[in-house]
Amino acid sequence: MKTETTLDVFDVDKIRDDFPILKEEINGYPLVYFDNAATSQTPQQVINCISDYYSRYNANIHRGVHTLSQTATDAYEQSRIKIQNHFNAKRSHEILFTAGTTHAINIVASGYGQFLKKGDEVIVSALEHHSNIVPWQMMCEKTGANLKVLPMHQDGMLKLEELDGLLSDKTRMVFVNHVSNALGSINPIKTIIQKAHDVGAKVLIDGAQAAPHIQADVQELDVDFYTVSAHKMCGPTGVGILYGKEHLLEELPPYQGGGEMISDVSFEKTTYAGLPHKFEAGTPNIAGGIGFGAAVDYLHKIGFDNIKEHEDELVSYATERLKEFDKIILYGPEVNRKTAVISFNFEGLHSYDIGTLVDKMGIALRTGHHCAQPIMKFYKIPGTVRASFSFYNTKEEIDIMIKALERAVKMLY
């Protein structure tokens, strides 16, 4: 989506100037940061916004009559509205601030756990991060509901053709990620949502990996719950959101009790506040929430079309360069069916050894199971090396990674 503020010219060198960390050296080499799927880097605009909050208007929100508290409250609520607009939610109170995606999924899993009964079914995809598996498993154990799995193909795409066979009038919930963190696969969530709704099931989409690359429209998707983490979107850590349709959030019991989530408290009975406060007990991550709004503004300044174009180019180029290695094994779908993630191994080598050696040359790659062990079990491997790109990365950095991999491989074979 292009907004009034979107850059007309995508100049990666200029964009890199916004990110102070990209000038750091690691082990005596310029940093090449290719672990963006774990967390993205933070532009000066977001750092300034957070520093401004602490320097000029640090105060608790929603509770003070004093000016500082009102300034902080306004900034926090303004940020909620920016995020509402970004995801095209109908109402600002359908956006709940959370500590991140993991927290958001737990709110929904624990809430639905109270509605599930023995024999009910919930469906998860084979491509999930542990945070979209374990909370539901815990709920199934508690309630006697059954967890079913939508399997994946060898190429890292879901077996959508098997979804109809899994869905039934027993299905209560379906939860799938928009994009796989380990492989980058973009899942056909619109079809999954429609099919789940046809049998009366609700759908939670984990958008943590999609959010830095794809602007989701929750009304167009007709999704029931959508979650993201700010730190993967150039924002601060420890904050994210849960989007939920108003009537579903109203039905859902609160996750935590405490201050600010109540309407009236007595020892006999407590009544809860309305949305969004029912789910926002205690002092939230105020600086984080405000910084998240600044990160959304920043991403719109870059422009999601620009982001896609540049990242597709990077992932195509890196794939071609990696294919020059004799003993490379690439996992996951082709470039046009995934975001800017490449998962790979070298025959007979351990991903951890590769990651450790290239780190000595300043390159940050993630290695291991990526908190997605079922995917690794599917491929019968302990883990992969993962390079994940952002719009501020360059082809020159990819060339540096390739050289470093050449050196690492030479040492290990």
Please give the positions annotated as active site.
371
CB of 244 to ligand 7TS, least distance (A): 17
CB of 99 to ligand 7TS, least distance (A): 7
CB closer to ligand 7TS out of 113 and 383 = 383
CB closer to ligand 7TS out of 62 and 370 = 370
CB closer to ligand 7TS out of 387 and 409 = 387
CB closer to ligand 7TS out of 86 and 231 = 231
Q: Which residues bind ligand 7TS (CB under 6 A)?
A: 37-38, 100-102, 129, 131-132, 177, 181, 206, 208-209, 229, 366, 370-371
Name the β-bridge partners of 341. 388
CB of 288 to ligand 7TS, least distance (A): 12
Residue whose C-alpha is closest to residue 276's, from 100, 98, 59, 105: 98
CB of 232 to ligand 7TS, least distance (A): 7
CB closer to ligand 7TS out of 291 and 303 = 291
Residue nearest to ligand 7TS (CB): 181
CB of 230 to ligand 7TS, least distance (A): 8
